[in-house]
Amino acid sequence: MILKHRYILYTQKRIALLLIGLVISFVGNLPLGFINITVIQIAIQWGALDAFIFSLGATCTEIFLVYCSLLFINKILQLKWIIKLLDIIGILFLFILSAYAFYAIHEGNAHALSTAKKPSMPLFLWGILISAINPMAIPFWFGWSSILFSKKILKPTHKNYQIYVTGIGIGSLLSLGLFIVSGKWIYKLLSNHLFILNAIIGSCFLIIACLQAYKFLFKTHWTEKDL
């Protein structure tokens, strides 16, 4: 009876960890970002299947990066300057994307964010590449993983890591799948006024970048221990 109770408790903890990874990943992918905007573009131009293949590649990279970060997070988090450097890169990245969106409006190119030449490489590999150079994912998952470690929700075992990243993968695919479906609807709704979509995307990037910059400049303090 005791063994059965322990097994049920063990299973519940594993399911909870899976759901935590799923929910964090799903919600974290909802704000407009580099990956989900690219997914919308692909869904609009080349169809849902191509967008799903791209999403699968991007998700595989995310899972790999999160798993690797979990293996080294305790050592890496001791070097706080690395996290701050990643924050700076992410902020600059958002400002660049925002500037590009507003530049598209200024140039009168309504298709600047909704048309692009199909890459020569397979979309799965393209998803892997685009996700790998996206600087926002690493600080995001470092933050969440460190919180889960500190709360002892995520314990340092390979089995827990595997369950956690599985939930992350499922959450990412569900979230990107939502953008695949809604992307076509957004395109149809704004087909004659795509500059509105560019303005919305540019504004979202700008707001997020400003908030991140404010947080970094006024709520982050450098100390000698960071160096």
Residue-wise DSSP of 130-156: HHHT-TTHHHHHHHHHHHHHHTTSS-S
At 208-227, the pLDDT tens digits run: 778 878 877 876 544 444 43
Map tokens 């704000």 to a residue.
Answer: 31
pLDDT band at 112 (very low <50, low <70, confident <90, very high): very low
Helices (H), the chain: 2-28, 34-46, 48-76, 80-106, 123-132, 137-150, 158-189, 194-219
At 46-66, the pLDDT tens digits run: 888 999 999 999 999 999 988
* Residue ranges of domains in the chain: 35-226
CA-CA distance, 174 to 159, in Å (whole number)? 23
At 169-221, the pLDDT tens digits run: 999 999 999 888 887 776 666 555 666 766 777 787 788 778 878 877 876 54
Residue-wise DSSP of 2-25: HHHHHHHHHHHHHHHHHHHHHHHH
Mean pLDDT of the chain, nearest integer: 76
